[in-house]
Structure 1
Amino acid sequence: MRSRLLGVVLALIVLVLVGLGVPLGRGVAAAEQQEMFLDRLTDTSRFASLAGRPLIDDKPQLLRAELERYDEVYGVGVAVVGRERPDRPLVTSRAGLPFTGAEAQDRVNEALAGRLPTAPKLFMPWNTAEVVLAEPVLVDGEVRGAVVTFSPTDKTRLEILGWWALLLAASLLVLAMAVLLALPVVRWTLRPVQALDEATGKLLAAVVSGRPVPPVDADHGPPELRQLSRSFDQMAVNVADTLAAQRAFVADASHQLRNPLTALKLRLSNLEGHVDADAEVHQLEALSETDRLNRILDELLAMARAESSSVDPVPVDVDRSVAARLSAWQAAAAAKDVHLVLDGQPGGMALAPPRGVETVLDALLDNALKFTQEGTLVVVDVRRADGRVRLSVTDHGPGLQPEELDRATNRFWRSPAHQNVPGSGLGLSIVRLVVERVEGVVVLESPEDGGLRVVIELPAV
């Protein structure tokens, strides 16, 4: 945006310079041409006054020495023509003058008609034609002939080019000064915009992690942008407060529902042996539903803690955490005839929220044991490379379709093919929240031999 704004400013400056420079350049060319015209007009008039007596005496050759000397000194060709033969000069300063040209004949005819020379059209440095002036020779008010001068324009054109080069250099200097002056103005103008852009990028991470949203620097820039920065700060605070209230509500509601749900389960259990045989199946289904509600409340509480945690990440021994959780889940795996296997290499220390690795492993192992087939393996792989600790859990269950992999970490999302499997669809969402708190990555993959592989990457320490 800075480049575009600076480009607009420079384009306006260039337009102003062109609007002023072009007329000024033409004015300089016209002034130089007028100076040359007046100089040549004076000499032409002088020769016209000198040619009167030689033309009356029919001795135009008397002017030859004067004309040749003038041509030798100034390089300006001069010719004298009589009234009777306007197409043939009586005397010239040198041979080869373009006397028979159309422009020369027009000037001669005008002079023989008694007209005085007029300024030629404006010529530019690339015009190499000579300037032709013709003035009548008057004797007692009668036109006896004309004097024609052929003036080269090399010197005038060089002077015009010099002035134009000076104007161009001045314009470039003004443009450079404008750039130097515009850069700090553009930076000052766009500083609030840059701060807003940076704050927008930090807003989501701060709100999701429960950290305070850093305010935008609203002390620089135009008043309108400072006001926009203050409005953004207020909006960020409102969003953070709203999400904090939402998390608090989820946590409170989950906690408050636990007691009546436990009491309901106890009452349903106490009914065992006191209901008809036909109603016993409904009692068992009700107990199953209370267990399901308990699992949902546990996951909601875990998600609320993951979202609202404001504790800074700490270095965690990944290998120790993995070993502890595999040991804790061995009994559940053995009950389903599934083997938990640790593969890879020592991962070392990684940056994670307190007990974050344990939370992630519990969610991933719970999912893996739900879906994997009996008699298969659940492989937990740990590796360290490129400043990252890579932890993956691979099962041999039905897996997910390719189009479902990106949606699996959404809250409460479950594949249509897994609706008969107990669960709430919050496990992978909790994993994503915990990993993203330390700017980690969660990737779901479909191995070639089937099943699902969930890969997380944490910053290594």
Structure 2
Amino acid sequence: MRTRLLVIVCVLVGLLAVGLGVPLALSNSLAAQQSLFIDRLTDTIYFASRAQRPITEDTAPGLAEELARYDEVYGVAVTVVDRAGTVVAASRPDPPELDADGLDRVQVALASRRSAAPPLIWPWDTRPLVLAEPVLVDGEVRGAAITVSPTGSLRVQELQVWSLVAALVLVSVGLGVLVALPVTRWILRPVRRLDEGTGRVTSAVLAGRPAEPVSDGSGPPELRRLTASFDRMAESVTQALSTQRAFVADASHQLRNPLTALRLRLSNMDGRVAADAAEEHVAAMEEAERLSGVLDGLLALARAERDAGVDREADVAVDAIVDDRLDAWRPLAEHTGLRLLRGGVRGLRVRIAPGGIETVLDALLDNAVKFTPPGGAITVTVRPVRDSDPALVEIAVLDTGPGMAPEDLDRAVDRFWRAPDQSNVEGSGLGLAIAARTVELAGGVLTLDLPHGGGLRVSAALPRVR
């Protein structure tokens, strides 16, 4: 926007300078040409009057010498011709040839009419100024006096004037830019602070920290009001999110005690329930277990949101954590007929909160084990991301399960979202949401894609530590 404002100012200043300078230069050029025209017209009229007797007597004693002296002093060729166009006297042995305009002026003079002012002579027009005046004897046209004036000095003068105007236009534009720079900086300062502060405010709001104010009281009144409104909005959103997180954490924590008591009571009723109610008792136990899992997920999510406002990131070695989680999940995977594989590069380090990689891998491996059929394989790969700025490390979990519909990939990380064809699979719908939030808080991104060989690939790109 700053560049656009400067361009607008430059265009306006340039148009103003051109609007004032061009008429001034034109006026100066016309005045200089008019002065030359009048001077040469006066001389041509004089020579026309001096030529009356020589034309009448067919002799020109003294006239040729006078024309030659005039040409020598002023550099203007003068020629006197009779009605037939024959040269009566000339300032040079070889009079200059006339172009079409000069010949027309001679014919106009022989028709007893005065020479009109020529059009404006531009600096690149090298034609001389040709004037012709009738030689009158007793009111009868007997010939014409012709002057051919070089226009070099006139064109040099015009070029100097136009160069001065062009320089003044450039100076005006430069001064306009110098004046406009602080003005545009003052105007756009609130906008720049909004642009720079949006990312910081977003991070602070999501982390539950107080948002740094964007408004500093500078700039136009309208933009100051805009930044003040933005600060109020950020504060309101921060309070709303903090209230929501506190409610989720408190509600989840408070529900654990009555839920635990309910599970104990249901367990104590085992063997004491009538045969026709045994199936309902088992279903109640399963729902209690499912509710317990949902509450555990909510508490994990609340802890992740709570830790967002605390800088707990550390330099973490990836290899030991990946090997540990694979060892922890291998018994369950082998029990269900799955193979756990490790691939990629070793020796990489990332920046993430302690326990973050464990949380992400547990969520991804839990989903992979649940949805991969017996005989399948789950591969955990660690590798650096090429050509990334900043440098990233990708931790990916690839399974050989059924995958999911392409349109569901973006929704899979939503809280409590379950695929329509997997509603009967055990789970709370919070695993991927917790993993995505954990990766996001570390400055990375969680991505789901469908590889060509089938299955589902979930990758977490985390900031790399060199």
TM over 0.5: yes
**Structure 1: which amino acid aligns with 2:168?**
A
Q: Does 1:401 align with 2:399?
A: no
> What is the Cα deviation at residue 330 of structure 1?
4.5
> What is the Cα deviation at residue 269 of structure 1?
3.3
Aligned pairs (5 A) from 1:49-198: 49-51=49-51, 54=54, 59-80=59-80, 85=83, 87-88=85-86, 90-94=88-92, 95-96=94-95, 101-111=103-113, 119-135=117-133, 147-198=145-196
**Structure 2: which amino acid aligns with 1:249?**
F
Contact in 2 for aligned 1:353/1:438 (Cα 8 Å): yes
Aligned pairs (5 A) from 1:59-458: 59-80=59-80, 85=83, 87-88=85-86, 90-94=88-92, 95-96=94-95, 101-111=103-113, 119-135=117-133, 147-216=145-214, 218-309=216-307, 310-312=309-311, 313-383=313-383, 387-458=391-462
> What is the Cα deviation at residue 434 of structure 1?
0.5
> How far apart, CA to CA, are the structure 2 residues paired with 1:321 and 1:132?
99
> How far apart, CA to CA, are the structure 2 residues paired with 1:79 and 1:350?
97
Which residues of structure 1 form unaligned runs of 5+?
none
Q: Please say which of residues 70-79 and 291-300 is displaced more in the overlay.
A: 70-79
**Structure 1: which amino acid aligns with 2:310?**
V
Aligned pairs (5 A) from 1:17-28: 17-28=17-28
> What is the Cα deviation at residue 373 of structure 1?
2.4
SS of match in other structure, 1:29: helix
Q: CA RMSD in A?
A: 3.1
Determine what percentage of the aligned residue pairs are the same residue.
52
Contact in 2 for aligned 1:98/1:104 (Cα 8 Å): no
> How far apart, CA to CA, are the structure 2 residues paired with 1:146 and 1:341?
112
> What is the Cα deviation at residue 422 of structure 1?
1.2
Q: Please say which of residues 132-141 and 162-171 is displaced more in the overlay.
A: 132-141
> How far apart, CA to CA, are the structure 1 residues paired with 2:127 and 2:346?
90
SS of match in other structure, 2:39: helix
Contact in 2 for aligned 1:87/1:105 (Cα 8 Å): no
The 1:336/1:29 distance shift into structure 2, 3 A limit, reads same
Contact in 1 for aligned 2:109/2:144 (Cα 8 Å): no
Partner of 1:14: 14
> What is the Cα deviation at residue 26 of structure 1?
1.0
SS of match in other structure, 1:284: helix
**Structure 1: which amino acid aligns with 2:445?**
V
> How far apart, CA to CA, are the structure 1 residues paired with 2:173 and 2:399?
67
> How far apart, CA to CA, are the structure 1 residues paired with 2:263 and 2:426?
18
Contact in 2 for aligned 1:104/1:132 (Cα 8 Å): no
The 1:75/1:423 distance shift into structure 2, 3 A limit, reads same
> How far apart, CA to CA, are the structure 2 residues paired with 1:260 and 1:332?
30
**Structure 2: which amino acid aligns with 1:12?**
L
Contact in 2 for aligned 1:108/1:148 (Cα 8 Å): no
* TM-score between both structures, scaled by the size of structure 2: 0.86
> How far apart, CA to CA, are the structure 1 residues paired with 2:109 and 2:80?
13
Which residues of structure 2 form unaligned runs of 5+?
none
Contact in 2 for aligned 1:76/1:152 (Cα 8 Å): yes
> How far apart, CA to CA, are the structure 2 residues paired with 1:390 and 1:79?
95
> What is the Cα deviation at residue 433 of structure 1?
0.7
> What is the Cα deviation at residue 396 of structure 1?
3.1
Contact in 2 for aligned 1:131/1:151 (Cα 8 Å): yes
SS of match in other structure, 2:354: coil
**Structure 2: which amino acid aligns with 1:26?**
L
> What is the Cα deviation at residue 375 of structure 1?
4.6
* TM-score between both structures, scaled by the size of structure 1: 0.86
> How far apart, CA to CA, are the structure 2 residues paired with 1:230 and 1:40?
74
> What is the Cα deviation at residue 222 of structure 1?
2.9
SS of match in other structure, 1:101: helix
SS of match in other structure, 2:205: helix
The 1:107/1:339 distance shift into structure 2, 3 A limit, reads same
The 1:39/1:353 distance shift into structure 2, 3 A limit, reads same
Q: Please say which of residues 424-433 and 127-136 is displaced more in the overlay.
A: 127-136
> What is the Cα deviation at residue 329 of structure 1?
3.5
> How far apart, CA to CA, are the structure 2 residues paired with 1:64 and 1:52?
13
Aligned residues: 455
> What is the Cα deviation at residue 431 of structure 1?
0.7
The 1:72/1:255 distance shift into structure 2, 3 A limit, reads same
